[in-house]
Chains A and B, each alone.
Chain A
């Protein structure tokens, strides 16, 4: 099979699985997950083959795998769609395929496959557990299987389809289609347990917030299409003339080139999708979904898609940049990215929900990538995208494993405590060793633990880029954020796994089944080794031992290969220092926390703490300035005032006037004039008749006299008239 054919086929198995499950196999849990995982495996296999072939192709950047077919007939020509795998696509395909497959496998255990049906479980609510009677006749509460098990696999299959479609697309329109399909799936999966009002609110919030970005992106796509007559990546991004034309064409806003405005519009799409400030609010709430979904959204697919898109269009974003100066969209990205990285990290410090900490860390890490791209670090951004996908998927799945273990304890003890609250955990390293060690690896990768972890290498490269290009503001902001990242990550690890259990449930937590731990192990391998492909040559001691393959490979995507920055000790030492410092601080502060004790930070931070805990009150603010006004505008202004009162009022006025005119016509014309004159005729006739009645005596002699009299009078009249005429 040619590679191009294979690429066409990559997205299809999950789509097929989705339809098959929805239409046919949804009654059978086993069949459904077999279909879904089988499909994910096929896509994974095809992706790996494509990846290997891509790696072996010399000058893949110049001669990528591509193929297209005509799709929309427009005017004289056709709009074509197709597939493209260039170095960036191949690298993305690699991490997407791995993480998706692992998440699929993990979901089997997470949703308690093989466990009994719950006692009172109902579709739309998380399973509450089932009672089983053991051999001795004692009832036990055990986890119960998810009532909508098949549906879950159908949805994540569609989700996977969306992501694969996005990655293999050769144009912005099909990329957008995959993008939006993922939007739908995230909506459906965040609200998977739709019976919970909080989940229902979160699903809508996610969809609408990302849609804010999407409508801007749609405009950007329309603009790009009208300017260039195509949406094909290669035709635009690998074509210096087109890029130059875009960079020199004026846009609708003075001072901005068309390239800049298009870039900004598209970037707003990423702000929504990748949860950057100010559209970040949906992501933490997305935790309402089942944990594999969180991993799917936060690592493998959705938010990565946002960053992937801006990396993809980097030549457009940087078009018109001379001598390393930043274009307007790049400046915007650097500011928003760095700001978001720090801003989200500060919030993460004050969260107690194990998944929420990770959610804010995702926002923060995505900020890193956006900022990296903003300062021109194309490779660094890609590198961090890849490593982050692995370790964040690992962390989410690990947290799911923790929650699962805790839920086991909760069911066992019957205590009603929140199994996601880290304050209730502690000491889980002994109960869940596999989860602990893999989580530790993921956490250290996130914190950027030097040399060993993948996160260190990618984060270091971003810092080096920011420093090397003399964007010191960005550098300092990101370094601060890295310090906080290391701190809250270690806080999380300490609170969860170290120390002593702080609740009875934590004492009775249990390691999760192999379907959940195997994905953790696989991802843990990548959370370490994914960094080895990008060790810079200049790195002291170990630099050059392994070739800096990633830089070579990925930069082939661009027309002009970006130059690496000069080595400097400052960013290197900074990243080592902040990582180790943050980890040490996190351990120091939380290692001895006792059950029921307040968070030491609460006292230390004073009034700042509630601000952080409540996420700077953005939800409340947005509710006040966006949600409530739009409800008012809709219900009161548009419907009641404009439509009902004004427009219908005018219509009613017209019809009321018509009726009033009708009534008036009747009262003042019809009745008095028309009817009146008719009545008058009758009345006159009647009264004439009445007055004439006196001569109607019935006597013949009288009539004769009257006839004769009449004859005489008339004859006289005639005679007179004739005479008069004769004279003339």
Chain B
């Protein structure tokens, strides 16, 4: 028992790998077995995460359940994992969404085995980033997660659609999207790798907690570059890498493509977890290492966040493709995360900063729930109608009343309706940012208004209005399996909206520690 508890993070981290291995050896043609075994195996990390949640000591300072083994002695890199409150909530989000996403993938018709294996590898990559306390490990997992996602989009993405690139050349949309996703993120990772190496050389370690201690006293120069120059280069490399991942406007255009073309479960994970990696990077590395630089550039960051909020909402409102509408909503919602981070970076301590950052982290969690839910619901209707064109639906509510109710509920969570989770986090961000970035916060309200507009547009086009007769008899109600996917998300949205302290308390303590 104590072995399990002592190694709980390693177990959580590598159980997806074990699961991938098990699924790999299942017989190819037994699709049903593959699906159910995958689902059952994906519950293991979740189970351990729930245990971790209760074992976690909220009052203690610093990282918990730390494990550290020498990995690469020559360059002083070690396998070092640990969690704080922020990481823990992200780990919970990941291990919760993965089983649901796997359950949502039961309608995958070909190569189900490879699909499931890739999915587990994806989970491994994401968990690694949240748990890593060593820069090299952080980077390895950061990159590792890209590969499965590339293949998921490329192989199982939507089959229809083309995208014109230049000179009239057209490429299949999913190839375009997966390539754009891969290359764009890699472009950011390149700098990340460079930064990590430079830091490793000047600090003589990749260990994150050690770095925090030594950071201000570093004085080695590198290739004749002063240490401050090295730090500045690393700062910008970090920022660009994380900004692309979040994504921060104007680095966001990979997102609507990738999210739209990915298979339903892929979109759930992309929006639900992958975007959080970028924001998490800011919290884990940029804020603690670069308080001064972060403060200096926080107004710019806040400006870009507001651009994301406003233009994300506008772009979403301008869509006629249901999935793309939801995809753009992520740009809009992640803008609030960035706004909160920027406000906290600017104020660095104080009540306003704490509230803003609390809001940002909670928004990461809430957006994970609502965005995953929305993508799933888009998938449900797409599976039945084989179209994502909003103008093709119309008045479907009488045909699918249960689905309709669930869609309205989830849409409202996404809109930030009070009583559901999104409101709490958005309110905290607005409240925290107002005294710090008053003008930016006020402008963000334009985005909040249009959030309402695009959410209502989606509901209007799908559910309301005169019934489009062509679907009568062709549209079946949401199935029990599908309800099982969405129900946990709905419960959590409501729970956080009504009584958020179970998670906000955890976040609040971590945030307070981070800012002090």
In the complex, which residues of chain A have a beta carbon less than 8 angstroms from the beta carbon of B314? 630, 633-634, 637-639
Distance, CA A229 to CA B434, complexed state (A): 13
Q: Is the CB of A222 within 8 A of B430?
A: yes
Distance, CA A195 to CA B397, complexed state (A): 9
> For the complex, would chain B's binding face be called helix, strand, loop or mixed by DSSP majority?
helix
Bitwise, A631-643 to B at CB < 8 A (1) or not (0) is 1011111111011
CB distance from B352 to the nearest CB of A (A): 7
Distance, CA A273 to CA B454, complexed state (A): 21
A606 interface residue (CB < 8 Å to B): no
Q: Is the CB of B424 within 8 A of A652?
A: no
Question: A124 and B452 in contact (CB under 8 A), knowing A219-B441, A219-B445, A647-B253?
Answer: no
- Which residues 480-501 in B have Cβ within 8 Å of A in the complex? 499-501
Q: Is the CB of B398 within 8 A of A123?
A: yes
The 10 closest A-B pairs by CB, nearest first: A634-B318, A177-B418, A635-B318, A638-B314, A194-B464, A215-B445, A634-B317, A75-B354, A639-B318, A180-B418
Bitwise, B277-302 to A at CB < 8 A (1) or not (0) is 00000000000000000000000000
- Which residues 128-175 in B have Cβ within 8 Å of A in the complex? 165-166
Q: Is the CB of B319 within 8 A of A639?
A: yes
Stretch of B66-74, B210-218, B365-373, B504-512 that contacts chain A: B504-512
Distance, CA A215 to CA B416, complexed state (A): 12
In the complex, which residues of chain B have a beta carbon less than 8 angstroms from the beta carbon of A195? 395, 398, 464-467
Q: Is the CB of A218 within 8 A of B427?
A: yes
B463 interface residue (CB < 8 Å to A): yes
B405 interface residue (CB < 8 Å to A): yes
CB distance from A20 to the nearest CB of B (A): 15
Stretch of A43-51, A203-211, A388-396 that contacts chain B: A203-211
Q: Is the CB of A226 within 8 A of B401?
A: no
A76 interface residue (CB < 8 Å to B): yes
Q: Which of B319, B352, B430, B465 is within 8 Å of A197, CB to CB?
A: B465
In the complex, which residues of chain B have a beta carbon less than 8 angstroms from the beta carbon of A176? 418
Distance, CA A655 to CA B463, complexed state (A): 41
Q: Which of A188, A197, A211, A226 is within 8 Å of B452, CB to CB?
A: A211
Stretch of A66-74, A427-435, A549-557 that contacts chain B: A66-74
Closest partner residue, chain B, to A252 (CB atom): B438
B431 interface residue (CB < 8 Å to A): yes
Q: Is the CB of A651 within 8 A of B180?
A: yes
Distance, CA A91 to CA B252, complexed state (A): 52
- Which residues 252-290 in A have Cβ within 8 Å of B in the complex? 252
Q: Is the CB of B166 within 8 A of A652?
A: yes
A415 interface residue (CB < 8 Å to B): no
Question: A191 and B464 in contact (CB under 8 A), knowing A177-B419, A207-B456?
Answer: yes
Q: Is the CB of B449 within 8 A of A208?
A: yes
In the complex, which residues of chain A have a beta carbon less than 8 angstroms from the beta carbon of B442? 219
In the complex, which residues of chain A have a beta carbon less than 8 angstroms from the beta carbon of B180? 651
In the complex, which residues of chain A have a beta carbon less than 8 angstroms from the beta carbon of B375? none
A59 interface residue (CB < 8 Å to B): no
Q: Is the CB of A211 within 8 A of B449?
A: yes
Q: Is the CB of A218 within 8 A of B315?
A: no
Q: Is the CB of B397 within 8 A of A194?
A: yes
In the complex, which residues of chain B have a beta carbon less than 8 angstroms from the beta carbon of A332? none
- Interchain residue pairs with CB less than 8 A apart (7): A71-B499, A72-B500, A72-B504, A195-B465, A200-B464, A204-B460, A226-B431
Bitwise, B31-43 to A at CB < 8 A (1) or not (0) is 0000000000000
B118 interface residue (CB < 8 Å to A): no
A683 interface residue (CB < 8 Å to B): no
Q: Is the CB of A651 within 8 A of B253?
A: yes
Q: Is the CB of A181 within 8 A of B418?
A: yes
Query: Which B residues contact A (CB, under 8 angstroms)?
Result: 165-166, 180, 183-184, 250, 252-253, 256, 311, 314-319, 351-352, 354-355, 358, 395, 397-398, 401, 405, 408, 412, 417-419, 423-424, 427-428, 430-431, 434-435, 438, 441-442, 445, 448-450, 452-453, 456, 460, 463-467, 499-501, 504-505, 508, 512
Distance, CA A179 to CA B318, complexed state (A): 28
Distance, CA A219 to CA B429, complexed state (A): 11
Residues of A in contact, count (CB < 8 Å): 61
CB distance from A583 to the nearest CB of B (A): 42
Distance, CA A180 to CA B501, complexed state (A): 21
CB distance from A222 to the nearest CB of B (A): 4
Q: Is the CB of B417 within 8 A of A181?
A: yes
Question: A647 and B465 in contact (CB under 8 A), knowing A75-B354, A630-B453?
Answer: no
Distance, CA A637 to CA B318, complexed state (A): 9
CB distance from B154 to the nearest CB of A (A): 17
Q: Is the CB of A73 within 8 A of B505?
A: yes
In the complex, which residues of chain A have a beta carbon less than 8 angstroms from the beta carbon of B465? 194-195, 197, 200
Q: Which of A194, A212, A225 is within 8 Å of B449, CB to CB?
A: A212
Closest partner residue, chain A, to B163 (CB atom): A648
Distance, CA A405 to CA B267, complexed state (A): 53
Q: Is the CB of A652 within 8 A of B165?
A: yes
Question: A73 and B395 in contact (CB under 8 A), knowing A177-B418, A651-B180?
Answer: no
A623 interface residue (CB < 8 Å to B): no
CB distance from B196 to the nearest CB of A (A): 24
Interface-central residue, B354, B358, B434, by most chain A CB under 10 Å: B434
In the complex, which residues of chain B have a beta carbon less than 8 angstroms from the beta carbon of A75? 351, 354-355, 508, 512
Distance, CA A655 to CA B184, complexed state (A): 11
In the complex, which residues of chain B have a beta carbon less than 8 angstroms from the beta carbon of A207? 452, 456
Q: Is the CB of B315 within 8 A of A634?
A: yes
A656 interface residue (CB < 8 Å to B): yes
In the complex, which residues of chain B have a beta carbon less than 8 angstroms from the beta carbon of A225? 431
Q: Is the CB of A218 within 8 A of B355?
A: no
In the complex, which residues of chain B have a beta carbon less than 8 angstroms from the beta carbon of A218? 427, 430, 445, 448
CB distance from B90 to the nearest CB of A (A): 19
Q: Is the CB of A656 within 8 A of B166?
A: yes
CB distance from A288 to the nearest CB of B (A): 12
In the complex, which residues of chain A have a beta carbon less than 8 angstroms from the beta carbon of B505? 73
- Which residues 138-186 in A have Cβ within 8 Å of B in the complex? 173, 176-177, 179-181, 184
In the complex, which residues of chain A have a beta carbon less than 8 angstroms from the beta carbon of B256? 643
A122 interface residue (CB < 8 Å to B): yes
Q: Is the CB of A124 within 8 A of B395?
A: yes
Distance, CA A411 to CA B504, complexed state (A): 58
Q: Is the CB of B445 within 8 A of A72?
A: no
Q: Is the CB of B417 within 8 A of A638?
A: no
Distance, CA A123 to CA B318, complexed state (A): 29
A94 interface residue (CB < 8 Å to B): no
